[in-house]
Amino acid sequence: MMPNGLSLTGRRAFVTGGARGIGEAIARRLAAQGAEVVIADLDGAAAARLAEEIGASAVALDVTDLARVARVIADTGPFAILVNNAGVDQHAFFTKTTQEDWRRLLAVNLEAVFATTHAALPAMQAAGHGRIVNIASEAGRMGSRGGAVYAAAKGGVIAFTRSIARENGRKGITANAIAPGPVDTPLLRQAVAGGPRGLLDAMTSATLTGRLGTPDEVAAAVAFLASNEAAFITGETLGVSGGMGCGQ
Ligand code: NAD
C-alpha cells in the first residue's frame, strides 16, 4: 500500500506535454496516486485518448500561445500541482542553428514555463499550498555538445525554478526541477536521428548506469516531489539521469 504522504488524493494537477513520452508517464503516475489530472498537449487527440484511459481530463493546448495558456489554466484550475513537461529538442552544432531555432526552442522550453507559472501560482499562494515541478535536463546544468540552444533554455528553467522557490517557500509552495539524462522517448529518438552516427551510444555511455532511462523513472521522481513527503525539498534540481550529472 502507498504511504499516506505519497497520496495525491484530492489534488488537481496540470501536466503540459502529457500525451506521450515522459509527460504521459507523469500523467499516469499522478492519476494512479489519486490526483485529478488535466493533460494539456499540442496533440489534443492523443491527450484525450490517454485521459479517457486513466480517468483524467484533456485539453488541446500549444504552450507557446501565452494568452491561451492563461485562459485554459483559469478555466480548468485552480491547481495544487503544476508540471511543466512540454519540450522540444534538436541536435545541431551552434553555428548551424538560426535565430528561428533559438526563438522556437526558447518559446516551448522556457517561455511557456513563465506563462503556466504566472497563471497557476496566484491560486497556490491563496491556498497556502502548491507543488511546481519543472522538467529541465542535465543539458541545463552541464551544457550540451550539439544542443547549445536547448541547454540555454533548460538552464533558464533551472534558474527560474530556484527563483520561484525563493519567493514562495514561506507560502507552502515548493518548486523543483528535474534534470533527466537520456530517456527513451520519441523526443530522444528524433534528436538522435538528426545527430551524428553513434550519438545514442555516446549518450548511453555518459550515464554511470550504461543504459537509457525510462519515462516512468522520471515520473516517479515527479510524483514524489509533488507529494507531502517532499514538503521540505524546494529549489532543487534532481538528476534522474543514471548519474550522468552527479556532482553538478
Ligand atoms: P516527447 O517529444 O516524447 O513528448 C513531448 C510532448 O510534449 C508531446 O506529447 C508533444 O506533443 C508535447 N509538446 C511539444 N510541444 C508542445 C507545445 N508547444 N505545446 C504543448 N505540448 C507540446 O518528449 P519527452 O522526451 O517525453 O520530453 C519531455 C520533457 O523531458 C521535455 O521537456 C524534454 O526536454 C525533457 N527531457 C527529455 C529527455 C529525453 O531524453 N527524452 C532528456 C532530458 C529532458
Tell me if 105 CB under 6 Å of ligand 1.
no
Q: Could you tell me the maximum CA-CA distance found in the chain, to the nearest angstrom?
A: 53
**Which candidate, 74, 35, 42, 33, places its Cα nearest to that of 57?**
35
Residues 6 or more apart from 218 whose CB is under 8 A from it?
A: 22, 25, 26, 135, 178, 180, 183, 240
Interior/surface letters 101-113, b for 16+ CB within 10 angstroms, e for the rest: beeebbbbbbbbb
What type of residue sits at position 200? Answer: L
Establish whether residue 19 lines the binding site of ligand 1, counting it when its CB lies within 6 angstroms of any ligand atom: yes
Whose cell is 545541431? That residue is 92
Residues belonging to the active site: 150
**Owner of C-alpha cell 514524489:** 224
Q: How confident is the model at residue 248 (pLDDT cuts 50, 70, 90)?
A: confident
- Ligand 1 atom index nearest CA of 43: 11
pLDDT, tens only, 234-246: 999 999 999 999 9
- pLDDT score, position 2: 66
Q: Is 174 exposed, middle or buried (0-12, 13-18, 19+ CB in 10 A)?
A: buried
Domain boundaries, the chain: 4-238
pTM for this prediction: 0.98
Distance from the alpha carbon of residue 165 to the mean position of ligand 1, in angstroms:
23
Cα of 22 from ligand 1 centre, angstroms: 7
Question: Topology of domain 4-238, per CATH?
Answer: Rossmann fold (3.40.50)
What b/e readout covers 35-61, taking b as 16+ CB neighbours within 10 angstroms?
bbbbbbbbbbebbbebbeebebbbbbb
Q: What is the dihedral of CA 160, 161, 162, 164, to 10 degrees?
A: 90
For residue 142, the CA-to-ligand 1 centroid distance in Å is: 19
Quote the distance between the C-alpha of residue 70 and its chain's center: 18
- C-beta 180 within 6 A of ligand 1: yes
Beta bridge partners of 132: 82, 175
Over the stretch 140-168, which tens digit does the pLDDT of each residue have? 999 999 999 999 999 999 999 999 999 99
pLDDT at 29: 98
Write the pLDDT tens digit of every residue in 108-120. 999 999 999 999 9
For residue 248, give Cα distances in angstroms to 35, 118, 243, 244: 32, 28, 10, 9
Cell output for 79: 491547481
Instruction: Name which of 88, 66, 72 is nearest 17 in CA terms.
Output: 88
234 close to ligand 1 (CB < 6 Angstrom): no
pLDDT at position 230 = 98
DSSP H or E stretch at residue 150:
helix 148-168
Q: Is the CB of 183 under 6 A from ligand 1?
A: yes
Work out the average pLDDT over 74-92. 96
pLDDT band at 1 (very low <50, low <70, confident <90, very high): low
Separation of CA 209 and ligand 1 centre (Å): 23
Q: Report the atom number in ligand 1 closest to the C-alpha of 215.
A: 26
The per-residue pLDDT for range 86-101, each reduced to its tens digit, is 999 988 999 999 999 9
